[in-house]
């Protein structure tokens, strides 16, 4: 497999302009003749579907929730970055680009990241025009806050509900196009396979989740915007339905999967409270603007009430270790630091797996009212879940799986290794390298969806002559048959264990061996256990009911079956990458003071894995990464 | 704690439904309501019985997927809280809990506690947007918005589209949902050009979907997990009246 990044030549500031000029166009009259399937209605999919319909394409958009407005982007809290420099604090497109490349620990593609930073300013304009109610200053202009990994204030927000407001803006644009007839929306419809004909993506096979009917939708191009795969860990901050099925099926049809082991563990989540736990709740990183992270200096103090521990006996470890970024150190660093102090036995709360996030100083400085205005809904959410009042006692937080930087490999046009298959948003691997900075996922989803895919799809359709396809073609029939067979197989096992019990077991395994700290020994152990668990699943899972009805166990079973395969690829990737970078921390590779130690000569590449059949190990393809603008250096936030 | 549940079971849209009784054992007060149902479902599957179907996704009170009548109250006893954020510490050991789907003509039951809320999408499609095609806007700070207006717009925009307002309303009205969107967009300068058209179309669509009329019972704002105020309904009515008057004037003047 040849990986052509297709990054345009020339100086970095000119690449996207040059490319926009060189791309083929489709005339307005011809756009109507093309059908594009979009899987996903989150920021990436919703924006792409709405924009392509505005341009004149015939769009079919799919989501598994009952309404496109419920895509998981809705849950994003803290904010969205943009290089507007409205605060006049020295921000620029170049600085956002620089911060993102460095934040990603030099494992992303410079050309893509620069474009993302350029487009970021248009996103804010677009969203404001749609009526997104961003926070404002008294003068009526837009307000900003800071996020981890940055020393400027470039994050735009709408209380603690930024994702909700951005998604509603996008959903409203989508519904506007639905009413005009340009988009047909298919809610409660799950993509279960990709149709590939003559080497090109030509449609998808879906299951209607209410009637159970399996059918095909043909297209001239397909966009996958199906979100991330953090739920491979069972417990994560993702929604319960978030899954890898769409991208995993595409991988098995020939799309390379890039950097599957790059996962982000978010430092500020509410700790696990018991075995019944079904998901973990994020407490937005924006809280680190005003909250101070600490644990007791001495183990013996861990059982004391926090208010009884004097300042002198507290270890504000982020401020101590990283004085210039302090509580706003990047996520991977803050998460590992929390794990470290808990491993030393200085953690607080049940099981010693927690650290304090304390607002007492901020409340003293700014008043309770100001804090309530900034974070009120997050404080309420915390209190509802834990029954503790964070205005009075510090929050307890612990890291949790949150975001996946890995995803399907795409070139500069966001096209995968299957021609015609584009991948947008968290589902692709493109812009964040080995660690994503806070408030940059919303930016990337909207950049991909509003500004990139709609143009690069035109280039693909304008420069390729596609043969006509029909639902009766053998490829379509065979793909549909495979989906039916798999569904029947899941229903016919009739074993003794629930789907959730397998998912929980897989999650525990992945958290233990492929979570915040990884070792060759642990990964090998995981690689020995996962195939056994998968085998047990296919022999002993119990899915009741039929395929011809709304069947939530069946849906869950299909997703867990795919996670059981993806988990193995994640461990293979983590084992092969003999270095530490960003969210991938191999205990064998660390600096004397415990920081991630990269090995640039061997590993400055994207690992793009190619499926080679269930019986063969996947094939590793490498896309070398070249840094012409941001010199490779050890990341320092000290 | 141990609880007795009475849950609405209905195998499909056209099937007859009824209440079934289940025992929920060893429930921790730290569980969310949905985690309690997860426990019940696992034990149902283990004993070979079909699990209870219910919509849910984010479990953080923001996606609007979840929602059920709990002891006759939409989203249960805790104010300003969606079902997924309700915790079992709101109940006592030995309690009996009745769980039913949203009841509304416009929200037909699909299965058990799952209903079809696509009428809400059609209301938005009829006019709940600002037409701003991608790529056309000016710089964001060229449109200053008074902080008060931005805050008030945000209060209305917080709606999660769960449908509790409809389920709680004795008339089954969708006024709070529709008014929240009309208020959000109508409070902003960007929303002015389409303001009247938006109100007319959204109200017409709401009626066409078979939702009931609003007689200002106010149950909707009590049930709303985001505590959206019925003041938005006054705003909707005002926009609707103004729009109707202008339409009438246009007909009289322009019709000649
Ligand atoms: C709790 C939380 C808070 C966050 N906060 C922030 C923040 O403050 N700032 C920031 O920048 N980022 C944040 N993020 C990250 C960010 O929200 C996500 O990365 C981003 O929204 C993903 O958008 P998306 O469009 O790629 O996918 P999603 O929004 O996840 O959408 C996926 C879509 O695909 C559909 N889908 C999936 N599989 C299938 C299938 N098989 N068939 C049919 N449809 C399918 C779903 O129905 C859905 O419509 C946060 C994430 C979480 C979990
Ligand atoms: S599950 Fe999302 S609001 Fe309850």
Domains of chain A: 267-401 (3.90.700.10), 480-599 (1.20.58.100)
Predicted pLDDT of residue B255: 53
Residues A261-315 have pLDDT tens digits of 999 999 999 999 888 999 999 998 889 989 999 999 999 999 999 999 999 999 9
Is A74 an interface residue toward B (CB < 8 Å)?
yes
pLDDT digits (tens, 9 = 90+) for A65-104: 999 999 999 999 989 999 999 999 999 999 999 999 999 9
Helix (H) or strand (E) holding B8: strand B3-9
Encode B205-217: b = buried (16+ Cβ within 10 Å), e = exposed: bbeebebbebeee
Matching residue, tokens 């304090």:
A356
**A442 CA closest ligand 1 atom index:** 11
Given CA atoms B237, B240, B244, B250 in this order, what sign does their dihedral have?
positive
Q: Which two tokens stand for residue B240?
A: 């609707």
Q: Give the ligand at the shortest distance from the Cα of B64.
A: 2
H or E element: which one contains A338? Answer: helix A331-343
Q: How far apart are CA A435 and CA A267, in angstroms?
A: 13
Q: Mind listing the pLDDT tens digit for each residue in A20-51?
A: 999 999 999 999 999 999 999 999 999 999 99
Contact B121 A187 (CB under 8 A): yes
Per-residue pLDDT of chain B (256 residues; tens, 9 = 90+): 999 999 999 999 999 999 999 999 999 999 999 999 999 999 999 999 999 999 999 999 999 999 999 999 999 999 999 999 999 999 999 999 999 999 999 999 999 999 999 999 999 999 999 999 999 899 999 999 999 999 999 999 999 999 999 999 999 999 999 999 999 999 999 999 999 999 999 999 999 999 999 999 999 999 999 999 999 999 999 999 999 999 988 888 765 4
Q: Do A74 and B137 touch (CB under 8 A)?
A: no
Q: Could A128 and B116 be called an inter-chain contact, meaning their C-beta atoms sit closer than 8 Å? A: no
Per DSSP, helices labelled H in A132-274 are 162-180, 245-252
For chain B, state the CA radius of gyration: 21
> CB within 8 A of A518, min separation 6: which ones?
A261, A574, A584, A585, A586, A587
Closest CA to B205 of B123, B130, B128: B123
Residue whose tokens read 């803050």? A334
- B87-120 pLDDT, tens digit each: 999 999 999 999 999 999 999 999 999 999 999 9
Contact between residue B187 and residue B238 where contact means Cβ atoms under 8 Å apart: no
Q: Is the dihedral of CA A572, A259, A239, A415 positive or negative?
A: negative
Task: List CB contacts (< 8 A) between A402 and chain B.
Answer: none
In the prediction, which pLDDT does A49 show? 98
The two three-digit tokens of residue A577, written as one number: 């990458």
Are B190 and A128 a contacting pair, CB within 8 Å? Answer: yes
- A517 closest CA partner among A449, A596, A626: A596
Q: How far apart are the C-alpha atoms of A275 and A612, rounded to whole Å?
A: 38
**Quick one: which H or E segment has residue A257?**
strand A257-258
Query: How much of chain B, in percent, has pLDDT values that exceed 70?
Result: 99
Q: Is the dihedral of CA A68, A73, A79, A84 positive or negative?
A: negative
HEC string for A497-565: ECHHHHHHHHHHHHHHHCCCCECHHHHHHHHHHHHHHHHHHHHHECCCCCCCCCCHHHHHHHHHHHHHH
How confident is the model at residue B252, as a pLDDT?
Answer: 81
**pLDDT tens digit sequence for A350-376:** 889 999 999 999 999 999 999 998 888
Of all helices (H) and strands (E), which one includes residue B111? strand B109-111
User: What is the helix (H) or strand (E) element at residue A27, kind and residue range?
Assistant: none
Indicate whether A587 pLDDT > 60: yes
Q: Quote the crossing angle between the two packed helices B118-125 and B195-208, to the nearest 10°.
A: 150
User: How many angstroms separate the CA atoms of A30 and B172, rounded?
Assistant: 46
Domain boundaries, chain B: 3-110, 117-253
- What's the CATH code, domain B117-253? 1.10.1060.10
**Alpha carbons A44 and A116: distance in angstroms, whole number:** 13
Tell me if B107 sits within 8 A of B117, measured CB to CB: yes
Enumerate the residues of chain B whose CB falls inside 8 A of the CB of residue A164. 62, 158, 160
Rounded to a whole number of angstroms, the distance from the CA of B256 to the nearest CA of chain A is 31
Contact at 8 Å (CB) between B86 and B223?
no
What does residue B5 show for φ and ψ, rounded to 5 degrees?
A: -110, 145
In the structure, how many helices (H) and strands (E) does chain B have?
8, 7
Segment A520-536 shows an average pLDDT of: 98
Pairing of strands B96-100, B69-70: antiparallel
pTM, two decimal places? 0.97
Minimum mean pLDDT among A371-385, A388-402, B215-229: which range? A371-385
A545 part of contact set with chain B, CB < 8 Å: yes
Token duo for residue A213: 């009917």
* B241: helix, strand or coil: helix
**Which region holds residue A151: left if phi is over 0, alpha if psi is between -120 and 50, else beta?**
alpha
Kindly report the CA angle at A424 between A35 and A608, in degrees rounded to 5? 115
Average pLDDT, chain A: 96
pLDDT in tens, A482-503: 999 999 999 999 999 999 999 9
B73 strand-pairing partners:
B70
* Beta carbons of A162 and A38 less than 8 angstroms apart: no
Contact B145 A136 (CB under 8 A): yes
Of B32, B58, B114, which is best to mutate to test ligand 2, by the most ligand atoms within 8 angstroms of its C-beta? B58
Contact B51 A553 (CB under 8 A): yes
CB A608 within 8 A of CB A410: no
Question: Over the stretch A433-463, which tens digit does the pLDDT of each residue have?
Answer: 999 999 999 999 999 999 999 999 999 999 9
Q: Where are the beta strands (DSSP E) in A42-97?
A: 58-62, 80-81
Contact criterion met (CB below 8 Å) for B121 and A101: no
- Residues of B within 8 A of A500 (CB-CB) are 38, 42
Following CA atoms A189, A191, A192, A196 in sequence, which dihedral angle do they give, to the nearest 10 degrees?
140
- What percentage of chain A reaches a pLDDT higher than 70? 100
Residue with tokens 């849910």: B56
Most A CBs within 10 Å, among B113, B124, B143, B232, to test the A interface: B124
Closest atom of ligand 2 to B85 CA is 4
Select the residue from A47, A72, A136 to test the B interface by mutation, using most B Cβ atoms within 10 A.
A136
- CATH no., domain B3-110: 3.10.20.30
Question: Which carries the bigger pLDDT value, residue A637 or residue A183?
Answer: A183
Q: In whole angstroms, give the CA distance from residue A126 to residue B132.
A: 8
Question: Residue A147's pLDDT band (boundaries 50, 70, 90)?
Answer: confident
Q: In this complex, is the C-beta atom of A474 within 8 Å of any C-beta atom belonging to chain B?
A: no
Nearest by Cα to B171 from B238, B103, B124: B103
Q: Do domains B3-110 and B117-253 have the same CATH topology?
A: no
Decide if A47 touches B, using CB distance below 8 A: yes
């Amino acid at each position: 497999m040849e990986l052509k990044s297709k990054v345009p030549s020339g100086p970095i500031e000119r690449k996207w302009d040059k490319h926009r000029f060189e791309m083929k166009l489709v005339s307005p009259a011809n756009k109507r003749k093309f059908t594009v399937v979009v899987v996903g209605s989150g920021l990436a999919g919703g924006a792409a579907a709405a924009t392509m319909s505005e341009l004149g394409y015939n769009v079919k958009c799919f989501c598994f929730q009952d309404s496109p407005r419920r895509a998981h982007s809705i849950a994003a809290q803290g904010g969205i970055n943009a290089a507007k420099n409205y605060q006049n604090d020295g921000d620029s497109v170049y600085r956002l680009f620089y911060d993102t490349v460095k934040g990603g620990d030099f494992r992303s593609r410079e050309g893509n990241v620069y474009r993302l930073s350029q487009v970021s300013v248009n996103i804010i304009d677009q969203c404001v025009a749609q009526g997104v109610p961003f926070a404002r200053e008294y003068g009526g202009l837009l307000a900003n806050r800071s996020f981890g990994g940055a020393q400027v204030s470039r994050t735009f927000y709408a209380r603690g509900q930024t994702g909700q407001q951005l998604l509603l803006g996008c959903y409203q644009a989508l519904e506007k196009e639905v009413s005009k007839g340009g988009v047909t929306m298919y809610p409660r419809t799950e993509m279960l396979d990709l149709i590939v004909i003559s080497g090109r993506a030509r449609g998808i096979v879906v299951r209607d989740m209410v009637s159970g009917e399996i059918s095909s939708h043909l297209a001239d191009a397909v966009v996958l915007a199906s979100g991330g795969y953090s739920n491979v860990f069972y417990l994560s901050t993702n929604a319960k339905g978030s899954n890898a099925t769409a991208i995993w099926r595409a991988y098995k049809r020939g799309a390379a999967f890039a950097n599957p082991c790059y996962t982000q563990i978010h430092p500020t989540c509410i700790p696990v409270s018991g075995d019944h736990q079904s998901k973990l709740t994020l407490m937005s990183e924006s809280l680190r603007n005003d909250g101070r992270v600490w644990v007791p200096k001495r183990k013996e103090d861990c059982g004391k009430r926090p208010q009884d521990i004097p300042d002198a006996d507290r270890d504000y470890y982020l401020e101590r270790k990283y004085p210039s970024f302090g509580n706003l150190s990047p996520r991977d660093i803050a998460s590992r630091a929390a794990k470290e102090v808990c491993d030393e036995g200085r953690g607080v709360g049940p099981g010693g797996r927690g650290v304090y996030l304390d607002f007492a100083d901020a409340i003293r400085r700014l008043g309770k009212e100001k804090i309530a205005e900034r974070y009120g809904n997050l404080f309420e959410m915390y209190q509802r879940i834990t029954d503790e009042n964070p205005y009075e006692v510090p929050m307890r937080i612990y890291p949790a799986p949150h975001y996946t930087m890995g995803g399907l490999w795409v070139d500069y046009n966001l096209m995968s290794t299957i021609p015609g298959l584009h991948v947008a948003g968290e589902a692709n691997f493109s812009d964040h390298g080995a660690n994503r900075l806070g408030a940059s996922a919303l930016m990337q989803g909207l950049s991909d969806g509003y500004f990139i895919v709609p143009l690069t799809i035109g280039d693909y359709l304008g420069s390729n002559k596609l043969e006509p396809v029909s639902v009766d073609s053998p490829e379509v029939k065979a793909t549909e048959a495979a989906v039916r067979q798999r569904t029947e197989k899941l229903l016919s096992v009739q074993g003794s264990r629930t789907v959730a019990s397998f998912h929980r077991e897989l999650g525990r395994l992945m958290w233990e061996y492929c979570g915040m700290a990884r070792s060759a020994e642990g990964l090998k152990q995981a690689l020995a256990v996962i195939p056994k668990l998968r085998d047990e699943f296919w022999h002993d899972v119990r899915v009741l009911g039929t395929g011809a009805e709304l069947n939530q166990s069946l849906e869950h079973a299909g997703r867990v079956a795919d996670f059981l395969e993806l988990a193995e690829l994640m461990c293979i990737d983590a084992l092969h990458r003999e270095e530490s970078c960003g969210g991938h921390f191999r205990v064998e590779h660390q600096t004397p003071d415990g920081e991630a130690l990269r090995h640039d000569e061997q590993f400055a590449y994207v690992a793009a894995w190619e499926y080679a059949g269930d019986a063969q190990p996947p094939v590793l393809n490498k896309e070398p990464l070249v840094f012409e603008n941001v010199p490779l250096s050890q990341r320092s936030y000290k | 704690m141990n609880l007795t549940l009475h849950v609405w079971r209905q195998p499909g849209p056209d099937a007859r439904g009824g209440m079934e009784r289940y025992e929920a054992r060893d429930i921790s007060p730290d569980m969310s309501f949905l985690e309690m149902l997860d426990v019940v479902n696992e034990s149902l599957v283990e004993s070979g019985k079909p699990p209870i179907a219910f919509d849910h996704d984010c479990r953080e009170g923001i996606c609007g997927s979840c929602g059920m009548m709990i002891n006759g109250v939409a989203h249960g006893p805790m104010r300003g809280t969606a079902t997924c954020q309700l915790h079992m510490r709101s109940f006592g050991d030995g309690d009996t809990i009745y769980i039913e789907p949203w009841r509304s003509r416009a929200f037909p039951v699909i299965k058990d506690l799952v209903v079809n809320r696509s009428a809400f999408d059609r209301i938005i499609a009829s006019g709940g947007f600002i037409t701003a095609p991608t790529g056309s806007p000016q710089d964001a700070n060229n449109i200053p918005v008074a902080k008060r207006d931005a805050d008030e717009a945000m209060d209305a925009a917080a709606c999660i589209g769960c449908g509790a307002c409809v389920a709680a309303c004795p008339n089954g009205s969708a006024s709070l949902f529709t008014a929240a969107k009309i208020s959000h967009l109508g409070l902003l300068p960007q929303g002015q050009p389409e303001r009247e058209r938006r109100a007319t179309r959204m109200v017409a669509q709401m009626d066409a979907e078979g939702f009931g009329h609003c007689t200002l019972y106010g149950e909707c704002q009590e049930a709303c997990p985001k505590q959206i105020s019925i003041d938005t309904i006054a705003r909707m009515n005002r926009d609707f009246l103004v729009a109707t008057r202008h339409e009438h004037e246009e007909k009289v003047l322009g019709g000649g």
